[in-house]
Amino acid sequence: MFKKSLLALALTSAALSGVANAATISSGTSVAVSLEGNQNVNLGASALAPASLTTALTTTIGTAYIINDVVTFTVSGAEFLTTGAGAAPTLVGGAATYNFIDYSDANTVRFRVAAADAVAGNGIVLAGWSLKTGSAVDKSKVSFKSTALSSNSTIGAYDTTAVGSTSFNFAKQLTTTITKLNGQVSTGKGRAQFTSTSTSADNDVLTIANTDGAGVNALTIAKAVHVITGDYSWMMDYDVVANGGDLDGILDAGELAAAVTTVGCTSAVATMNTALTALTITDTGAIAASCAIALNNVGYAAGGSVIKAPQSFTMTSTYTDATANAITASASAGAFSLDGSSTDIAFLPFGTDYAQSITVTNDGSVVGAITVTITAGGMAYDTVLVATAAAKTVTNISAEVAAFAAASGVTGDAAINVTTNAPGIVVKGLYYHKPSQDRVLTQ
């Protein structure tokens, strides 16, 4: 005989199935969190609490919850702190009373409907929790969802929120755009200034542009310190009397102020280490939207020193608030390149049967360093030769190139590139085949 109790149970299950996923969960607008500030032990301490939400974390239930049913809240993108401040969360609201059961795992907290049934449409608020956010990264999110679990195993889980509420979103507080150094040093001008392909013959400019996204736990930036490493030995030109210096062998503050100028910074002050390898720009005050740092040269006409090139620059920036909480970032600051000549010798054989002749003719007045690249067997080998292209001279680099080829294990057919950091260069290459006594000019 078919029992009425079974019919009632079947109808209940059907009703619950019809409203499955009907609950909604929200904490208002997603809150931006400063990643660096949240992970700073003195600010966010890698934690978040309900007080930072736009509104309380609330589930509006879609169907009645029955006494002894279990309600769970699950967090993703973080973990519940299950001891201390987060050890006793609460679930309140509507007709029912809820008792905390436990954290079934680091991401899930459970409550039991203890007194009275909850009514569809009730809003229930999860409060008193704390989150651990040590695993947060840039652009990660923290979201919640809830579900009910019937004490009747036939019914199981029901009223699961369809979409988790994104409550917090992490982002790096500072969005930095760097316009890098890219000056090309002119060999024709004694390597004392930049070429016409550069923005200016007199200087190269590094620009640091910042957007402060602020957010929960954000630092209130009070100072920015940029340390830019490179070779600044040529700035000693500003110690020369003719260039406004005092010729004391030290690049003092006044001389450095001529060598390094800034535009758009809040209140930038430049300092230099005694080795002339680390330029520090200290910008005190609110963070500048765009801080342009110009590295100036006195130029060829003023008898300027050689600007080292090629060379790369690196930069470490430290942004601090009034109590020395810091955001630190490192990046490339660009490079100086050097103009000159580049010649390809498409074919040159190596081995015991061959001898080579490679000459570099310098018709100009600037001595040039010589870089050779040998390409053979799917590999490229490069070296800076000991020999240099002396001014008004023909330099034979054959023996040094042959020794480098042998040391690199190159035999047989190869291609050669000769790059010389000086203008007015002509490179010639030929080989001699010993068995046949043939000489072949290849470049």
Contact of 232 with 297, CB cutoff 8 Å: no
Q: Which residues have CB under 8 Å from 324's CB, separation 6+? A: none
pTM here is 0.78
Residue 401 lies in a domain: yes
CA distance 107 to 101: 14
According to DSSP, the residues that pair with 226 across neighbouring strands are 281, 317
End-to-end CA distance of the chain: 105
- Of 109, 140, 171, the domain-final residue: 171
CA distance 165 to 299: 62
Residue 4 lies in a domain: no
Same domain, 192 and 236: yes
Residue 61 lies in a domain: yes
Same domain, 78 and 145: yes
pLDDT at 14: 38
Contact of 206 with 308, CB cutoff 8 Å: no
Same domain, 244 and 95: no
CA distance 140 to 393: 63
CA distance 393 to 218: 63
**pLDDT tens digits for range 362-405:** 998 888 888 898 999 999 898 889 999 999 999 999 999 999 99
Q: Which residues have CB under 8 Å from 439's CB, separation 6+? A: 430, 431, 432, 433
pLDDT at 218: 97
Same domain, 133 and 182: no
Same domain, 140 and 209: no
State the total domains in the chain: 3
Q: Which of 210, 228, 229, 227 is nearest to 219 (CA)?
A: 210
Cα 424 to the chain's mean position, in Å?
41
Q: Which of 320, 12, 349 is nearest to 151 (CA)?
A: 12
Residue 9 lies in a domain: no
* CATH (domain of 391): 2.60.290.11
Contact of 375 with 415, CB cutoff 8 Å: yes
Same domain, 109 and 134: yes
Same domain, 71 and 101: yes
Assign 3-class secondary structure to 254-322: HHHHHHEEEECCCCEEEEECCCCCEEEEEEECCCCCEEEEEEECCCCCCCCCCCCCCEEEEEEEEEECC
Same domain, 236 and 364: no
Pairing of strands 31-34, 165-171: parallel
Token duo for residue 397: 């680099």
What b/e string do you get for 64-101 counting C-beta neighbours within 10 Å, with b at 16 or more?
bbbeebbbbbbbebbbbbbeeebeebebebbebebebe
Token duo for residue 334: 């660009």
* CATH (domain of 272): 2.60.40
If DSSP codes are grouped into helix, strand and coil, which group holds residue 384? strand
Question: pLDDT truncated to tens, each residue of the chain (443 aa)?
Answer: 434 333 343 334 434 444 444 899 999 999 999 999 999 999 999 999 999 999 999 999 999 999 999 999 999 999 999 988 777 899 999 999 999 999 999 999 999 999 999 999 999 999 999 999 999 999 999 999 999 999 998 899 999 998 777 999 999 999 999 999 999 998 878 889 999 777 799 999 999 999 999 899 999 999 999 999 999 999 999 999 999 999 999 999 999 999 999 999 999 999 999 999 999 999 999 999 999 999 999 999 999 998 998 899 999 999 999 999 999 999 999 999 888 888 899 999 998 888 989 999 999 888 888 889 899 999 989 888 999 999 999 999 999 999 999 999 999 999 998 988 887 799 999 988 888 887 777 76
Residue 5 lies in a domain: no
According to DSSP, the residues that pair with 393 across neighbouring strands are 362
**pLDDT tens digits for range 261-274:** 999 999 999 999 99
Contact of 336 with 184, CB cutoff 8 Å: yes
Residue 11 lies in a domain: no
pLDDT at 402: 93
Which residues span the domain enclosing 395? Answer: 341-441
Contact of 321 with 43, CB cutoff 8 Å: no
Residue 7 lies in a domain: no
Same domain, 22 and 149: yes
Q: Which of 216, 41, 31, 221 is nearest to 134 (CA)?
A: 41
Same domain, 164 and 313: no
Pairing of strands 341-350, 412-420: antiparallel
- Of 171, 198, 226, the domain-final residue: 171
CA distance 434 to 355: 7
CA distance 195 to 327: 37
Find the Cα–Cα–Cα–Cα dihedral 60, 64, 69, 70, rounded to 10°.
-10
Token duo for residue 349: 């054989």
Single-letter amino acid, residue 414:
A
- Of 138, 171, 204, the domain-final residue: 171
Same domain, 49 and 198: no
Same domain, 130 and 102: yes
Placement of tokens 């078919």 in the chain: 2
Q: Which residues have CB under 8 Å from 33's CB, separation 6+? A: 44, 48, 52, 133, 136, 168, 169, 170, 171, 215, 216, 217
